[in-house]
């Protein structure tokens, strides 16, 4: 028997090893004898052999030492073990760990010491005693033992690597705080990362580099086999990292994608970072015109204003084609192709949506009563349902020579400001079709009724929404009306400009609209809509001049004006300038503390929620929840925006979204009335165009609430979560509500609006501001939704008052929820695709399936929330890894048809 290891290992290490091997202190000899009896002859021989090696290792003769260490390594390497048990050589060497450790510490630096370090580091992993530091034995050439190890020990070796990485992270933090040298650590890190990257452990490599704050190393270690998995892990983890680490991680992913010429993914990261320089670099790095066209489709979907220069596309004709795609010139054509393919071109009337014949007698009778409020509701339903189809049965019916046309008839079935929404609804029906739209709206400009002219101006703005045009027809038509006498005409023109030029940061418009904000004689509502339009045009730009103009407009308001319901939109317009820009809002937030006490806190909440919208920042969510926990007097208005803020911040990723839904449930139970009124709207924003059953049930319950404001908000929220889905369950709920509230005109109006939203674009449109598999958030789309939601915080005064046309701000978020495949000449191309529920495959080895429960369809197809598509043929190669919106396919040169 070899000498007892515990005697030479020092008292502390001895006691630890006793714990690890679980040797009772009474009589170790007896226990050992008993153990030996249990072993087979083969195992006994191996045990004695290893004990002999341990003695030889301590021999003064280096030759004998080397032979003993070599033999030990050979035994460890060739041993067999299962996934769960420790290999036998390691098991028999455990009791001698203390001996070897003590001897290692006395050895001089040499090759032999490194050999022993390797063996000790493998042994240290099996000793579960606390404080055993693999790190001390990680020789500078990082364990050749691991690199030549047989597959049988892979599991244990991965464990060693992981433990070692953990220790390095601790050691790094310790040395950072003590300001010690870290070169030896970084050398180890280099080798461990190289090992991880070769062995499909990209997440471990990324985590280690994050711990030692040196992610740049990653770029040189990725290769064509693992870069996709690495980047997927980087982009997914970015959502959960605190700033500025999240941006750094995405920067690295961007560099890796560029290195491997995955330009489409690089462009998406550039858009996520809101870095147009990066986007430009993608265009200049890529030479393939077809791929550039695909980039343009992504830019168009994101709603970003991007002007191509000669560097991005040298040839003039090519540049014009590309710019046309960015300007969304073909969006209407693609959308109508989809509608024809799905066979929903026929116009629908509001009655087709209400389905009053399915209800019992009393409600169906009430539905036919011709009141201005019901006609206004029908106007909106008609506009939402036939959005973008270019034809309907109320506004675009061919005119009859004697009566001046049915559209005129319908228009005048609405009262005063109702005519504004009715005329503007024509813009919604002709959405994205600029030439035909402007021609049809033109007749209303010659009307004698100011409300009709206002509606026509707003209609022009709506038609041009998301479409950019070199001749700027909207600017030419609307700018003359901005300074007219009549407030309603001015609001129509200003709102139209805001919708058309949202996100464009158009400087001439800044001058024009800022002058209205400074005009002391301008009516209050005109000032509010001017501020909102400026907020939309400069959304997320942090433009100081605009911010200053809005701040002055806010400071100039007297106390009675600050009490007006519309006032709540002024702080929002300021918040829109900083949408998603995080810390950039701080200076403005400081200024807002000097505002009138009536609006100070309200402004603070709005600025905070806008600045952190879509970031998932947990600390900000907690801060907003704290604001909601206070019980205040009725006059306080800041808690509503705080509740909406929770939804705006938490909508970034699925986990945060689920947590926010649960937090909002608590607010419903314990919150004051003004909080309960905002909760349905927040739920509507979290699940917009994504009808989750639990949220649907909560809203259904709230739609019968005793407080009519809560019920109205819940009804509108039901419309939002079902927007464009044709969801039969929500449609049924709303039908029942229309019969339940048949005597309450206000609630019935909300039910009708919700019904229109559920059937938005006959089920072909979505309001979801997220796209590209929920990776990118379109700022203009989110801005449109939250403007409408803030207006809904005071339903009675704004939506049910004379400003119902704020509902048209939703047009900024309307997009076809389609996959349209086109060939290299941008002509529609029908190919089979599999559409199924998306599966999260981050960090999974191999090539896991990315969708589940799929069905095969021919394009164009509709994609619901959480759906993902993949090509079901190898004949074509898609130029975008994410199949959404317009995707260009090129023929696969290696494809051979099976005969």
Measured over the CA atoms of residue 557, residue 562, residue 564 and residue 570, the dihedral's sign is: positive
Q: What does the alpha-carbon distance between residue 653 and residue 237 come to, in Å, rounded to a whole number?
A: 11
pLDDT exceeds 80 at position 22: no
Highest mean pLDDT among 644-648, 649-653, 667-671: 644-648
Residue 54, burial from CB neighbour count under 10 angstroms (0-12, 13-18, 19+)? buried
pLDDT, mean over the chain? 83
pLDDT of residue 142: 47
pLDDT of residue 698: 93
Low-confidence winner among 118-122, 209-213, 309-313, 867-871 (lowest mean pLDDT):
118-122
Element (H, E) at 166: helix 154-178
Pick 164 or 573 by higher pLDDT: 573
Tell me how far the alpha carbon of residue 330 is from its chain's centroid.
26
Distances (CA, A) of 345 to 300, 335, 873: 25, 11, 29
Q: What does the alpha-carbon distance between residue 131 and residue 599 come to, in Å, rounded to a whole number?
A: 58
pLDDT exceeds 50 at position 251: yes
Q: What does the alpha-carbon distance between residue 578 and residue 546 come to, in Å, rounded to a whole number?
A: 11
> Percent of the chain, pLDDT > 90?
31
Digit-coded pLDDT (tens) for 729-763: 999 999 999 988 888 888 999 999 999 999 998 99
pLDDT exceeds 90 at position 356: no
pLDDT of residue 869: 92
pLDDT of residue 679: 94
pLDDT exceeds 90 at position 36: no
Digit-coded pLDDT (tens) for 526-566: 999 999 999 999 998 988 989 999 998 888 888 888 888 88
Query: Nearest to residue 573, comparing CAs of 551, 592, 558, 597?
Result: 551
Digit-coded pLDDT (tens) for 826-877: 899 999 999 999 888 888 877 888 889 889 999 889 998 889 999 999 899 9
Distances (CA, A) of 461 to 267, 352, 411, 457: 29, 28, 19, 7
Tell me how far the alpha carbon of residue 897 is from its chain's centroid.
39
Digit-coded pLDDT (tens) for 711-731: 999 999 999 999 999 999 999
pLDDT of residue 143: 47
pLDDT of residue 529: 93
Tell me how far the alpha carbon of residue 505 is from its chain's centroid.
24
Query: DSSP readout, 331-367?
Result: HHHHHHHHHHHHT--S---HHHHH-GGGS-HHHHHHH
Q: Are 636 and 601 in contact (CB under 8 A)?
A: yes
Count CB atoms within 10 A of the CB of residue 685.
27
Residue 129: phi, psi to the nearest 5?
-65, 140
pLDDT-based confidence at residue 815 (cuts at 50, 70, 90): very high
pLDDT of residue 404: 42
**Measured over all CA atoms, what is the biggest interatomic distance in the chain, rounded to whole angstroms?**
118
Pick 102 or 513 by higher pLDDT: 513
Q: What does the alpha-carbon distance between residue 677 and residue 876 come to, in Å, rounded to a whole number?
A: 51
pLDDT exceeds 50 at position 626: yes
Residue 558, burial from CB neighbour count under 10 angstroms (0-12, 13-18, 19+)? exposed
pLDDT exceeds 50 at position 131: no
Residue 479, burial from CB neighbour count under 10 angstroms (0-12, 13-18, 19+)? middle
Count CB atoms within 10 A of the CB of residue 221.
19
Pick 510 or 410 by higher pLDDT: 510
Query: Nearest to residue 615, comparing CAs of 623, 403, 291, 603?
Result: 623
pLDDT of residue 55: 83
Residue 814 exposure: Cα atoms within 13 Å on the Cβ side: 36
pLDDT exceeds 80 at position 339: yes
The residues near 490 (Cβ < 8 Å, ≥ 6 apart) are 481, 482, 483, 484, 516, 526
* Number of residues written out for the chain: 899
Low-confidence winner among 21-25, 266-270, 542-546 (lowest mean pLDDT):
21-25
Q: What does the alpha-carbon distance between residue 422 and residue 441 come to, in Å, rounded to a whole number?
A: 11
Q: Are 864 and 879 in contact (CB under 8 A)?
A: no
Q: What does the alpha-carbon distance between residue 688 and residue 869 come to, in Å, rounded to a whole number?
A: 21
List beta partners, residue 856.
Answer: 834
Tokens at residue 737, please?
């509500």
Q: What does the alpha-carbon distance between residue 519 and residue 130 come to, in Å, rounded to a whole number?
A: 73
Query: DSSP readout, 878-899?
Result: ESSSS--EEEEEEE-TT-----
N-to-C CA span, the chain: 74
Which DSSP symbol is given to 313? Answer: -
Tokens at residue 219, please?
């770029």
pLDDT exceeds 60 at position 27: no
> Percent of the chain, pLDDT > 70?
88
| pLDDT (average), residues 642-662 | 91
pLDDT of residue 533: 93
Q: What does the alpha-carbon distance between residue 492 and residue 526 come to, in Å, rounded to a whole number?
A: 9
Q: Are 102 and 8 in contact (CB under 8 A)?
A: yes
- Quick check: helix, strand or coil at residue 37? helix
pLDDT exceeds 60 at position 648: yes
pLDDT exceeds 60 at position 579: yes
Which DSSP symbol is given to 828? Answer: B
Which DSSP symbol is given to 815? Answer: E
Q: Going by DSSP bridges, is the β-strand pair 861-862/832-838 parallel, antiparallel, or unpaired?
A: unpaired
Q: What does the alpha-carbon distance between residue 140 and residue 133 come to, in Å, rounded to a whole number?
A: 15
Tokens at residue 831, please?
């190919």
pTM here is 0.84
pLDDT exceeds 50 at position 278: yes
Low-confidence winner among 253-257, 361-365, 629-633 (lowest mean pLDDT):
361-365
pLDDT exceeds 50 at position 361: yes
Query: Nearest to residue 687, comparing CAs of 713, 655, 724, 661?
Result: 661
Digit-coded pLDDT (tens) for 476-507: 888 888 888 888 889 999 999 999 999 888 88
pLDDT-based confidence at residue 360 (cuts at 50, 70, 90): low
Tokens at residue 530, please?
């001017």
Rg (CA), the chain: 34
- Quick check: helix, strand or coil at residue 472? coil
The residues near 133 (Cβ < 8 Å, ≥ 6 apart) are 124, 167
Sole residue written with tokens 């035994």: 75
Digit-coded pLDDT (tens) for 363-394: 554 444 557 788 889 999 999 999 989 888 88
Pick 400 or 76 by higher pLDDT: 76
| pLDDT (average), residues 69-79 | 78
Alpha helices in 464-543 (DSSP H): 473-478, 487-500, 507-517, 524-537
Query: Nearest to residue 283, comparing CAs of 326, 246, 247?
Result: 326
List beta partners, residue 897.
Answer: none
Q: Are 530 and 570 in contact (CB under 8 A)?
A: no
Query: DSSP readout, 828-880?
Result: B---EEEEEEE---TT-SS---SEEEEEEEESSEE--TTEEEEES-SSEEESS
Residue 850: phi, psi to the nearest 5?
-95, -10
pLDDT of residue 539: 92
pLDDT of residue 126: 66
Digit-coded pLDDT (tens) for 174-204: 888 888 778 878 888 888 888 888 888 888 8
pLDDT of residue 234: 92
């Amino acid at each position: 028997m070899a000498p007892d290891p515990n005697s030479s290992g020092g008292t502390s290490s001895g006691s630890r090893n006793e714990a690890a091997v679980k040797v009772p202190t009474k009589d170790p000899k007896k226990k050992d004898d008993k153990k030996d009896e249990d072993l087979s002859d083969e195992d006994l021989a191996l045990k004695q052999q290893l004990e002999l090696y341990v003695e030889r290792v301590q021999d003064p003769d280096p030759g004998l030492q080397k032979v003993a260490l070599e033999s030990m390594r050979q035994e460890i390497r060739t041993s067999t073990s299962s996934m769960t048990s420790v290999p036998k050589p390691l098991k028999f060497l455990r009791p001698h760990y203390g001996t070897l450790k003590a001897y290692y510490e006395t050895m001089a630096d040499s090759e032999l010491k490194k050999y022993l370090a390797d063996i000790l580091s493998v042994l240290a992993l099996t000793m579960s005693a606390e404080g055993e530091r693999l790190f001390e034995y990680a020789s500078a050439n990082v364990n050749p033992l691991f690199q030549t190890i047989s597959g049988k020990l892979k599991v244990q070796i991965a464990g060693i690597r992981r433990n070692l990485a953990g220790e390095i992270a601790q050691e790094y933090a310790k040395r950072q705080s003590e300001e010690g040298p870290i070169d030896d650590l970084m050398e180890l890190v280099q080798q461990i990362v190289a090992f991880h990257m070769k062995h499909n452990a990209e997440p471990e490599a990324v985590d280690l580099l994050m711990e030692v704050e040196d992610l740049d190393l990653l770029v040189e270690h990725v290769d064509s086999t693992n870069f996709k998995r690495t980047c997927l892990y980087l982009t997914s983890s970015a959502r959960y990292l605190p700033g500025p680490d999240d941006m750094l991680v995405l920067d690295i992913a961007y560099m890796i994608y560029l290195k491997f010429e995955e330009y489409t993914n690089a462009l998406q990261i550039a858009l996520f970072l809101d870095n147009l320089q990066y986007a430009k670099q993608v265009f200049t790095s890529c030479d393939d015109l077809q791929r550039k066209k695909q980039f343009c489709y992504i830019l168009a979907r994101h709603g970003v204003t991007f002007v191509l220069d000669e560097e991005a596309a040298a040839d003039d004709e090519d540049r014009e084609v590309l710019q046309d795609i960015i300007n969304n010139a073909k969006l209407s054509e693609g959308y109508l192709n989809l509608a024809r393919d799905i066979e929903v071109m026929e116009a629908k009337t509001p009655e087709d949506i209400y389905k009053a014949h399915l209800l019992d007698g009393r409600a169906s009778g009430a539905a036919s009563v011709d009141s201005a409020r019901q006609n206004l509701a029908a106007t909106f339903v008609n506009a939402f349902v036939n959005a973008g189809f270019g034809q309907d049965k109320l506004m675009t019916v061919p005119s009859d020579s004697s009566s001046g046309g049915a559209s005129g008839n319908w228009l005048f079935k609405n009262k005063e400001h109702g005519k504004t929404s009715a005329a503007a609804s024509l813009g919604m029906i002709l959405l994205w079709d600029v030439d035909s739209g402007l021609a049809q709206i033109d007749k209303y400009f010659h009307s004698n009724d100011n409300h009709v002219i206002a509606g026509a101006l707003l209609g022009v703005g709506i038609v041009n929404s998301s479409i950019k045009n070199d001749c700027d027809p909207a600017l030419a038509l609307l700018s003359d009306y901005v300074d007219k006498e009549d407030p309603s005409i001015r609001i129509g023109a200003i709102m139209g400009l805001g919708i058309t030029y949202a996100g464009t940061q158009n400087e001439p418009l800044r001058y024009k609209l800022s002058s209205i904000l400074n005009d002391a004689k301008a009516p209050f509502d005109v000032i509010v809509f001017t501020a909102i339009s400026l907020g939309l045009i400069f959304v997320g730009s942090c433009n100081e001049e605009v911010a200053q103009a809005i701040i002055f407009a806010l400071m100039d308001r007297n106390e009675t004006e600050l009490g007006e319901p519309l006032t709540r939109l002024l702080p929002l317009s300021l918040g829109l300038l900083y949408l998603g820009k995080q810390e950039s809002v701080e200076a403005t937030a400081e200024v807002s503390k000097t505002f009138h006490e009536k609006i100070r806190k309200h402004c603070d909440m709005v600025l905070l929620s806008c600045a952190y919208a879509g970031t998932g920042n947990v600390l900000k969510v907690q801060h907003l929840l704290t604001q909601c926990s206070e019980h205040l007097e009725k006059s306080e208005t800041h808690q509503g925006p705080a509740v909406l803020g929770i939804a705006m911040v938490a909508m970034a990723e699925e986990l945060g979204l689920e947590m926010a839904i649960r937090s909002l449930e608590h607010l419903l139970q314990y919150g004051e009335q003004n909080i309960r009124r905002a909760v349905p709207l927040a739920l509507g924003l979290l699940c917009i165009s994504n009808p989750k059953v639990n949220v649907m049930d909560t809203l259904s319950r709230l739609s019968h609430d005793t407080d009519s404001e809560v019920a109205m908000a819940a009804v509108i929220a039901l419309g939002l979560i079902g927007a464009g889905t044709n969801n039969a369950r929500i449609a049924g709920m709303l039908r029942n509500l229309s019969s339940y509230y048949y005597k309450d005109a206000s609630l019935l109006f909300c039910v009708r609006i919700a019904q229109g939203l559920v059937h938005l674009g006959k089920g072909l449109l979505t309001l979801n501001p997220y796209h590209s598999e929920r990776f990118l958030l379109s700022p203009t789309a989110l801005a449109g939704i939250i403007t409408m939601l803030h207006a809904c915080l005071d339903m009675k005064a704004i939506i049910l008052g004379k400003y119902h046309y704020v509902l048209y701000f939703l047009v900024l978020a309307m997009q076809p929820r389609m996959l349209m495949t086109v060939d290299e000449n941008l002509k529609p191309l029908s190919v089979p695709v599999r559409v199924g529920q998306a599966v999260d495959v981050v960090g999974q080895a191999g090539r896991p399936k990315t969708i589940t429960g799929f069905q095969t369809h021919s394009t164009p197809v509709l994609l619901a929330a959480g759906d993902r598509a993949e090509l079901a043929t190898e004949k074509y190669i898609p130029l975008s890894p994410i199949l959404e919106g317009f995707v260009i396919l090129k023929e696969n040169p290696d494809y051979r048809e099976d005969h």
